[in-house]
């Protein structure tokens, strides 16, 4: 299982105002003079957890965590206003400048891999290396797999529970249908949709079903932010200028040392994403976890995390 470093408390916590609407939470822990590493959380909308800072050796790394717009400790909570991929990219750049960092390592999983790649493509001169897990490209194929045709063939029972929230005449576009409910002014409609969305995602997150995990995620206060913000991003196709944007623009980061970690049986972000990304990044190394799905807490992925510091030090 995952051998985390001992619990540590941040030596610096900041609420950084990034525009007229949003203030994001930012923290630093570990070694103030160590190698800067930015943990980029998933979702979008998940927020960070205390355990995230425990992935890294606190004597070696300057560990930086932040909650993206609308989630975690950032405010306003669950807000969709001025909340796009490129707003988040520029928030990361504001964090870098605020902390007076020249180059840093980006560590992102799932949506965190999407955002890390987006930042690196635009600000490659400030990225020392990338560590990416559970690659999500936010392409049409990704969204169709999860919300139209793909995952439903493997988990038809869970799929039925997900779509039963939506009238038959609206099921041709589940993202649009859910967005309508997740932005409803009726609290009960919004809550019901958020729980169904979060439960569907959590049910497919691990290779082996974890009922306790599913209940924890779906009934969480944060399910509202995850469901609303994810749906908002997916409805807008990640706010990218073109489909498959990350693959098409990966040429600008082909020089950056990159580690790609992916579960073979990932039902949320199919393995083909990692395979394709590795193919366009000649300076990347890929580690396939043959007994894992999507979640970072699965044993196969967790065991690899035990050697994370050694992997990073090789860059």
Which active-site residues does the annotation give?
110, 266, 294
Residue given tokens 């908002």 in the structure block: 232
Token output for 20: 């007229």
Q: Which residues are CB-neighbours of 281 under 8 A, at least 6 positions away?
A: 250, 253, 254, 256, 258, 260
CA-wise closest residue to 109 among 251, 239, 290, 294: 294
Q: Measured between alpha carbons, how far is 124 from 106 in angstroms, rounded to an integer?
A: 11
Q: Measured between alpha carbons, how far is 145 from 282 in angstroms, rounded to an integer?
A: 27
Residue 84 CA: distances (Å) to CA of 52, 152, 168, 246: 24, 28, 30, 15
- Compute CA 126 distance to the chain's CA centroid, rounded to the nearest angstrom: 20
Three-point CA angle 37, 41, 47, nearest 5°: 125
Helices (H), the chain: 85-98, 111-122, 140-147, 151-154, 156-163, 174-182, 187-203, 211-218, 223-235, 245-248, 272-280, 299-305, 308-313
Residue given tokens 């990361």 in the structure block: 92
Q: Measured between alpha carbons, how far is 144 from 32 in angstroms, rounded to an integer?
A: 43
Q: Measured between alpha carbons, how far is 24 from 308 in angstroms, rounded to an integer?
A: 27
């Amino acid at each position: 299982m995952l051998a985390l470093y001992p619990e540590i408390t941040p030596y610096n916590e900041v609420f950084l105002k990034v525009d007229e609407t949003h203030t994001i939470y930012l923290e630093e822990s570990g070694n103030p003079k160590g190698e800067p590493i930015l943990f980029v959380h998933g979702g979008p909308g998940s927020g960070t957890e205390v355990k995230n800072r425990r992935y890294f050796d606190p004597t070696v790394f300057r560990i930086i965590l932040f909650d993206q717009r609308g989630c975690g400790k950032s405010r306003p909570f669950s807000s969709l206003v001025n909340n796009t991929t490129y707003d988040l990219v520029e928030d990361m750049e504001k964090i870098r400048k605020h902390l007076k960092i020249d180059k840093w390592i980006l560590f992102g999983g799932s949506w965190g891999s999407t955002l890390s790649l987006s930042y690196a493509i635009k600000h490659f001169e400030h990225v020392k290396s990338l560590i990416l897990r559970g690659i999500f490209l936010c392409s049409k194929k990704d969204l169709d797999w999860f919300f139209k045709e793909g995952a439903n063939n493997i988990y038809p029972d869970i799929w039925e529970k997900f779509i039963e929230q939506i009238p038959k005449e609206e099921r041709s576009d589940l993202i649009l249908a859910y967005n309508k409910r997740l932005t409803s002014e009726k609290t009960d409609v919004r809550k019901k949709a958020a729980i169904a969305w979060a439960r569907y995602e959590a049910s497919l997150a691990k290779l082996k079903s974890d009922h306790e995990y599913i209940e924890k995620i779906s009934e969480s206060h944060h399910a509202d932010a995850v469901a609303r913000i994810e749906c908002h991003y997916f409805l807008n196709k990640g706010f990218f200028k073109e489909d498959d944007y990350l693959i098409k623009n990966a040429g600008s980061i082909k020089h950056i040392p990159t580690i790609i970690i992916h579960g073979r049986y990932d039902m949320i972000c199919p393995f083909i994403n990692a395979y394709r990304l590795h193919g366009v990044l000649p300076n990347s190394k890929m580690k396939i976890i043959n007994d894992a799905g999507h979640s970072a807490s699965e044993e196969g992925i967790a065991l690899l995390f035990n050697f994370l510091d050694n992997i990073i030090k090789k860059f």
